Structure 1
Amino acid sequence: MDRMKGNLMLLLTALIWGSAFVAQSVGMDYVGPFTFNAARNLLATGVLVPVVLAFGGRHRGSLWQKLKPDRVTVKGGLCCGLIMGIASNLQQVGLSMTTAGKAGFITALYIILVPILGRFLGRTVRKILLLCVPLALVGFYLLCVKGGFTVSFGDFLVFCCAVFFALHILFVDHFLRKGASGVRVAWIQFAMTCLVSALGALVWERVPAGGLSSALWGARWPLLYTSVLSSGVAYTLQIIGQKYTEPTTATLIMSLESVFAVLSGWLFLGEVMTSREIAGCVLVFAAVLLAQR
């Protein structure tokens, strides 16, 4: 029952992340990637306060005493937030230099990187997953890559992003095993990601011509969607769901994000799926189902 609950949480995570792709793209029309990520995670930190109060365990006293995390949770949140901040910003910057399809395929490489990095950490990998991972990889290639495949600097940045996303999954699993509070780890990691993004904005971005407040107001709907659902809800579901699911299986389930992005475009934007894309979706779904054996 716990395993099924965890899998459903991770499946919902992938659905939210996939449907949020449009909102993230629209947000880039108003502000730079670092500014967007900083604002998004600042809002997510505030959104998660009532979640921590509701699901973070029973703590009496002042508001801070109810929110106050233990030492392991603080360490986990800071580490996961630093990794997530680097990963999300590498992805956003890389997207400005490469195509969305190639970026989606390269990011999906984290489904291979998680078991590889896990082996270096002494984790065992179930034999069925040795079939699921390459099957999903072929599916992502059919789904995301159009035309020739050459490597640009943007592609390199997105590959680095995939490495950090794989590390994020393993670090979340590590700190949950040590007894960290899932919702508090999520809360702290959003604050840390906001800090990393804000530093990036100060170094590499300029204030928009019409002013920062005006630009952020223009991006208010994408920011609200990504902060409440994609960050506040989905990343929390990921952390809680991983309590009941091994890292490689969790990775395969969450990698359905790209499939849900394509399906969302087909359902809501009228985008037509080719037979190649349909075949890719089928292969990825098959890999995820096989991983549940």
Structure 2
Amino acid sequence: MTGIAVLGSTNMDLVAYVAHAPKRGETVTGREFRTIPGGKGANQAVAAARAGGDVAMIGAVGSDDFGVRLRRTLVSSGVDDDLLRTAEGPSGTAHIVVDDEGGNSIVVIPGANGTVTSLVPGDEALIATADTLLLQLELPLTAVLGGAEAARRHGVRTVLTPAPAQPLPPELLAVTDLLVPNEHEAATLSGIADPPAAAEALLRQVPEVVITLGSAGSLYARRGAEPLTVPAPHVTAVDTTAAGDTFVGALAVALGEGRPVQQALIWASAAAALCVQRPGASTSMPYRTEIDAS
């Protein structure tokens, strides 16, 4: 088992499935609508738990019906919710349009996630017991930085998914061990569109980088070592929502178990490939037995 703490968001995903996403000013008719528990933090927590990790979640849900369902989803997936707060008011929501090619566009409304501005009593103690802390950017940056600094104080590996993409303060990068952007986020952070060159630039700020490349796989780079590219399995994508979060959750489990980086990346890619073949976020994430069998 792997000790993973997740400091991150919980959202209810409001998903519309369409032939093509509407352009500005355009109205299209969708074929289906679903409400699916999600949020980058909760997604990574569920993905890691299903992949075999011992996972605890730090964050907040609202006092609405969505909050009840979000908490229930985490618990039923094996995630410890003792430090998941309930904030008065609405839970976070993500409004997602998924087209027939599996692509998506997303608008996130923070809701209760916006109340998580810092660690509260118990949070740092939990982080100290983990071997990995997973972070994303759907909480206020003050909380993300506080979590990363707590992890550094206790020798806990920090894995940061810089999404939604935004400029990152140097003090956060200084306490990040592994940065996992997709190619668009890597370009935003580095100002360089070419992933290998972007990775090289990012290594000036963090010791390790994994850039996820969608169907092209992933690129791993570490200071003082040759970069490593791992291809993704060939599959037909139905919905790419949460593929990156599934990858990160599985990667955290694999690295926590001491697997070599290349093996960990291959295993995480297999998990993400299973995810994109199913609709939704938490509903699409594979279990360990499925990843091992793929």
User: Do Structure 1 and Structure 2 share a fold, with TM-score over 0.5?
Assistant: no
> Greater relative contact order: 1 or 2 (C-alpha under 8 angstroms, separation 6 or more)?
1
Higher strand share: 2
Flag the structure with larger Rg. 1
Range class of TM-score, shorter chain: under 0.3
Higher helix share goes to which structure?
A: 1
TM-score where L is the length of structure 2: 0.28
Query: Normalized against structure 1, the TM-score is what?
Result: 0.28
